Amino acid sequence: SSSNSKVAYTTRLSSSNSKVAYTTRLSSSNSKVAYTTRLSSSNSKVAYTTRLSSSNSIVAYTTRLSSSNSKVAYTTRLSSSNSKVAYTTRLSSSNSKVAYTTRLSSSNSISCLYNQTKLSSSNSKVAYTTRLSSSNSKVAYTTRLSSSNSKVAYTTRLSSSNSISY
């Protein structure tokens, strides 16, 4: 539709035990992009959503991985109006939980709120690292979850107030 310059498309791939559904919408009236990707197999699910709004420069996405004994919920929000980054990672298994929050305020001041609880059992391990540098407002962290039938490894880098790399 050329009246409001919107594009919407969907792609699905179906095999014996995996499905992928992908949707992207672009609206030029307020410069928003929203897409969702879901991957479903026999024992793992991934739901991924990203929204970009140019009016206030916000990016929010959530990733969930669900298996027999592990869950990961991940959310990151970036607002360029006041250069804040807030993200939370929660890991829930049979007997271990991790809650992690980091806030990056302005380009030269950092406030870090860190809450960590580690409980190690026979089939769950959690190891992660966080670096915050106030000189150029960068955040880099890595979280790995290893259990009997599921593994998660991801890294996110947030560079400056106007550029994002995943």
Average pLDDT over residues 14-38: 41
- At 50-105, the pLDDT tens digits run 444 333 333 444 444 443 334 444 444 443 333 344 444 444 433 334 334 433 33
Average pLDDT over residues 6-35: 42
pLDDT at residue 15 in the model:
42
pLDDT-derived band of residue 156, with 50, 70 and 90 as boundaries?
very low
Q: In what order do the strands lie in the sheet with 58-66?
A: 6-14, 19-27, 32-40, 45-53, 58-66, 70-79, 84-93, 97-104
- At 128-142, the pLDDT tens digits run 334 433 333 334 333
Q: Which among 128, 134, 126, 125 is positioned nearest to 114, based on CA atoms?
A: 128
Average pLDDT over residues 157-165: 38
C-alpha to C-alpha distance for 72 and 66, rounded to whole angstroms: 7
pLDDT above 70 as % of the chain = 0
pLDDT at residue 107 in the model:
35
